[in-house]
Amino acid sequence: MSLLSHPILSCEQARAFEAAYFGGDEAREWTAMQRAGRALGAAVQRDFQEIGEFPATARILVLAGKGHNAGDAFIAAQDLLEKNPQAIAEVLFFFGERPLRPLAQRAWRALVHCAHERVRVITALAGDAYTVSLDGVFGFQFRAPAESRVVALFAQINAHPIRFRAAVDLPSADLFQADFTYATGMVKTPVLQAARAGRVRYLDLGFFDGANPMPAVRNRVLVPELLAPLAALRPAISDKRTYGHVGIIGGSRSYPGAVLMTALAALRSGAGLVTAFVPERLAAAFAAQAPEVMWVGWPETPDGGLALEGQHLLKARAERLDALVLGPGVGREAETLALLRDIVATSAVPLVIDADALQPDIVAVGNAPRVLTPHAGEWARIAGATLPSATVVRKGPVTRIESGSGLGPSYHSFFGGPVLARGGSGDVLAGLIGGLLAHTSGEVELAAARGVLWHGLAADALARQHGQVAVTTTQVLDFLPKILRK
């Protein structure tokens, strides 16, 4: 199936799309520039919350080139000045004011007209720190190399104290060091390889709504609307069995907390029933912490892992399960890994395989559809395995969901960020995907994409509320409802 998503275009494809979309209509281009600039201003102020409240007396640095990126930056600065009446903007023209293209010139006049007493042109950076910088110098039509003067000026800007660095569309010539790059209207492939892009945000301007043809490309970006069905009213005539039953197998004496986090996430996924198979000495303690889960104590190896002899516990309940999550906290005992291989080889329900269960001889056996959730190190371990029935969630700064066969679309999620760079984030994601898989009729790719998207959006909300540092992994769970209710 094709998931709700938008295309990621090459520069050539983007030029062709824009030419067809705007048809040379300057009025339509101006409307789009206003939408882009306003969306950029709002996004900057929203993302700034990850480091604190946007200061009332913000000092904004606008880096202006000649073209539309400069226009977007001017309108974003206007948006920020209108919302923060004590803020000021300083504009550094890289090539002077005269070469501005018509729409950029129009955006510049609008900025000056909006708050002329709080806008000034500078020719060099002042000594004080800036709150925000907006990079609108070069766009995707830039052709290397940059002039030595431009290279030196960007080096000065990168070294200057600036709390929040935002790039429009692409970091200029890959010289500007961005904290966030805002892809306005569409994502272009160079931003995926840009070394200095920071975190990428896609600002949807409606270019790919139903009225416009959508280019057929492999690389695509996930959009929040994919979660809309989860926010809808549930049928009045339904019960817990309507929403699926997910099983979880994990935990060990060495890593007891991982499987608990997975179970807590499965509870928040919307699944009707959650059963967790864990080492028997952990079951009672976990039941006290999450009584909604049906905890099943599993016989242990001498070292505290899951023993082969416990397979009858799963077999007795297998027919009641709709999906199964394997791996959180299991460790690497040979007996436990042999157990997991047997389960995967014989499973009749879709699987989520995570953590130490991501071994080449485990992920490739059996015929059940499966989601694999490797981080970079785990992917290196299993990349050579044959994975025709797998959907792979390659976790990272930009998480990608793609077929294990290497065919079909590659879906990119730009949500989440460094707040997820802590132990347990993957365990939470595995539980979310497992729960979604249990109540989406085995639509493996859909469950994987929704889980990644929901997890990332909740992490962004957490970071905006509490910052990136003094938080815990399971706090992400408290922001899942907020995402759906938006």
Strands (E), 357-398: 370-372, 390-394
Q: What is the pLDDT of residue 304?
A: 97
DSSP letter assigned to residue 129: P
User: How far apart (Å, rounded) are the C-alpha atoms in residues 41 and 78?
Assistant: 8
Residue 480's H or E segment, with its range, is helix 480-485
User: How far apart (Å, rounded) are the C-alpha atoms in residues 220 and 210?
Assistant: 16
Owner of token pair 């077929």: 403
Q: Mean pLDDT, the chain, as a whole number?
A: 96
Listed by start position, the domains of the chain span 5-217, 227-485
Query: Quick check: 427 pLDDT over 60?
Result: yes
User: Are 348 and 279 contacting, i.e. CB atoms less than 8 angstroms apart?
Assistant: no
User: How far apart (Å, rounded) are the C-alpha atoms in residues 333 and 165?
Assistant: 46
Q: Encoding tokens for residue 465? A: 């509320």
Instruction: Say what percent of the chain tops pLDDT 90.
Output: 93
- Report CA-CA distances (Å) from 405 to 43, 409, 424, 475: 36, 11, 28, 35
- Mean pLDDT computed over 313-326: 97
Instruction: Say what percent of the chain tops pLDDT 70.
Output: 99
Same fold, 5-217 and 227-485: no
- Mean pLDDT computed over 316-322: 97
- Mean pLDDT computed over 177-199: 96
Query: Quick check: 445 pLDDT over 80?
Result: yes
| Least confident stretch, 112-116, 309-313, 414-418 | 112-116
CB crowding 11-43: b at 16 or more within 10 Å, else e: eebbeebbeebeeeeeeebeebbbbbbbbbbeb
Q: Which residues contact 478 (CB under 8 A, 6 or more apart)?
A: 462
- Report CA-CA distances (Å) from 463 to 4, 131, 204, 348, 472: 26, 19, 22, 39, 11
Query: Quick check: 270 pLDDT over 90?
Result: yes
DSSP letter assigned to residue 306: B
59-64 sheet: strands from edge to edge: 119-122, 88-93, 59-64, 130-136, 162-168, 180-184, 199-203
Tens of pLDDT, residues 48-105 = 999 999 999 999 999 999 999 999 999 999 999 999 999 999 999 999 999 999 999 9
User: How far apart (Å, rounded) are the C-alpha atoms in residues 344 and 366?
Assistant: 6
344 burial class (0-12, 13-18, 19+ CB within 10 angstroms)?
A: buried
- Report CA-CA distances (Å) from 312 to 277, 309, 339, 343: 12, 7, 12, 11
Query: Quick check: 482 pLDDT over 70?
Result: yes
The correct answer on CATH 3.65.10.10 for the domain covering 227-485 is no
Q: What is the pLDDT of residue 229?
A: 95
DSSP letter assigned to residue 145: P
Q: What's the pLDDT band for 1 if we cut at 50, 70, 90?
A: low
Q: What's the pLDDT band for 114 if we cut at 50, 70, 90?
A: very high
Omega of the bond leading into 145 within 30 degrees of 0 (cis):
yes
- Mean pLDDT computed over 256-279: 98
- Mean pLDDT computed over 275-280: 98
Q: What's the pLDDT band for 238 if we cut at 50, 70, 90?
A: very high
Q: Which residue has the higher pLDDT, 442 or 226?
A: 226
Q: What is the pLDDT of residue 391?
A: 97
Give the CB-side neighbour count of residue 346, counting CA atoms within 13 A: 11
User: How far apart (Å, rounded) are the C-alpha atoms in residues 334 and 316?
Assistant: 24
Q: Encoding tokens for residue 484? A: 């759906």
Query: Quick check: 478 pLDDT over 60?
Result: yes
The CATH number of 5-217 is 3.40.50.10260
Query: Quick check: 211 pLDDT over 70?
Result: no
Q: Which residues pair with 63 in a beta bridge?
A: 92, 135
Q: What is the pLDDT of residue 141?
A: 83
